[in-house]
């Protein structure tokens, strides 16, 4: 919803937002999570003109309804989760007694299905002209299953070439190791041993923003004629491992999923097998194989 706010109203700070950021940081939430939650709360304020500190359930439901056409179900669910965290903070810090989210409820999210890029698309992407660092980003997603925010934070110190491991700081600040594919070992030998692999432009000691990594990979994929997202490279990683008959518990560890339920969404029958199954259907089956249901004459 676009509301008409005066310049003064647009400049008006969102009350308690700095404290909300501090509260989350003290709980050692990831910087990505903190920044996104703060951004969404500020977005609510700007779009509605309502201070989130005093927002009612109706204010929140109206905001969600106004974005019914341009937000996906999963986006709406994530934003509702951010609002829940906000009002939990307000109650915990005695800034508010009630919690309007109890009246809002939880958006229904349809069952997710993995959308990996195809094997052909992987070849098309890798054959596309690109910078060496962009190729490295793509290979980290394809061969280590890294998310974009994990790619952005990769540093030379994260690699243990003797053990053949990459240490990844993922969701919830949890650090886990991923065995290195031989191609990644070769890449690591040529990359810096210390410091960020993908530094922010003009700030060599700082890492790129995850959004920038996503944009760089996305632009390369589009040049290759592949209409997909960077995260779908991670989907290829999981579905290919399972298609290669790797045990699901092993894939869970490699994907660094907390619950095996998260891994199970990748066990859906691959599209190629479903297509092959459809291709076996034959409306002239009774004629071609009379032994199946007894011989029958072909009717013209």
pLDDT of residue 119: 92
Cα separations in angstroms, 165 against 156, 161, 172, 184, 283:
12, 6, 20, 10, 53
Can you say whether the dihedral through the CA atoms of 243, 245, 248, 253 is positive or negative?
Answer: negative
pLDDT of residue 272: 67
Nearest to 231 by CA among 141, 111, 105, 135: 141
Chunked in runs of 10, what are the mean pLDDT values of the chain (300 residues)? 44 87 90 90 95 95 92 87 96 95 81 80 96 96 94 95 90 82 94 93 88 95 95 92 88 89 74 72 75 54
pLDDT of residue 184: 95
Burial 69-81 (b: 16+ CB within 10 A, else e): eeeeeeebebbbe
Given a contact cutoff of 8 angstroms between Cβ atoms, the answer to whether 168 and 229 are in contact is: no
Cα–Cα distance between 162 and 165 in angstroms, integer?
8
Cα–Cα distance between 83 and 42 in angstroms, integer?
11
pLDDT of residue 89: 96
Cα–Cα distance between 248 and 261 in angstroms, integer?
10
Q: Which domains does the chain have, with CATH numbers?
A: 7-104 (1.10.150.130), 119-273 (1.10.443.10)
Q: To 10 degrees, the CA torsion angle through 12, 17, 22, 27?
A: -170
């Amino acid at each position: 919803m676009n509301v008409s706010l005066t310049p003064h109203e647009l400049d008006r700070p969102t009350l308690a937002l700095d404290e909300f950021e501090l509260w989350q940081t003290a709980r050692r939430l990831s910087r990505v999570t903190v920044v996104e939650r703060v951004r969404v709360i500020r977005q609510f304020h700007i779009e509605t003109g309502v201070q989130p500190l005093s927002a009612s359930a109706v204010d929140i439901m109206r905001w969600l309804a106004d974005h019914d056409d341009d937000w996906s179900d999963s986006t709406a669910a994530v934003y509702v989760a951010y609002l829940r965290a906000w009002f939990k903070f307000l109650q915990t810090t005695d800034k508010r007694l009630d919690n309007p989210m109890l009246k809002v409820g939880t958006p229904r999210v349809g069952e997710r299905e993995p959308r990996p890029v195809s094997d052909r698309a992987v070849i098309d992407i890798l054959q596309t002209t690109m910078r060496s660092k962009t190729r490295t980003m793509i290979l980290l997603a394809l061969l280590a299953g890294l998310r974009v925010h994990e790619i952005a934070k990769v540093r030379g110190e994260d690699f243990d070439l003797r053990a053949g491991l990459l240490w990844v700081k993922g969701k919830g600040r949890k650090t886990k190791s991923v065995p290195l594919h031989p191609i990644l070992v070769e890449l690591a030998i040529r990359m810096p041993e210390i410091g960020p692999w993908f530094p922010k432009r003009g700030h060599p000691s700082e890492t790129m923003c995850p959004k920038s990594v996503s944009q760089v990979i996305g632009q390369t994929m589009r040049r290759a004629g592949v209409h997909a997202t960077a995260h779908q490279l991670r989907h290829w990683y999981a579905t290919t491992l399972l298609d290669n008959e790797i045990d699901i518990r092993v894939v869970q560890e490699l994907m660094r999923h907390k619950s095996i339920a998260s891994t199970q969404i990748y066990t859906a029958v691959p599209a190629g097998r479903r297509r092959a199954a459809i291709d076996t259907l034959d409306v002239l089956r009774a004629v071609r194989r009379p032994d199946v249901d007894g011989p029958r004459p072909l009717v013209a």
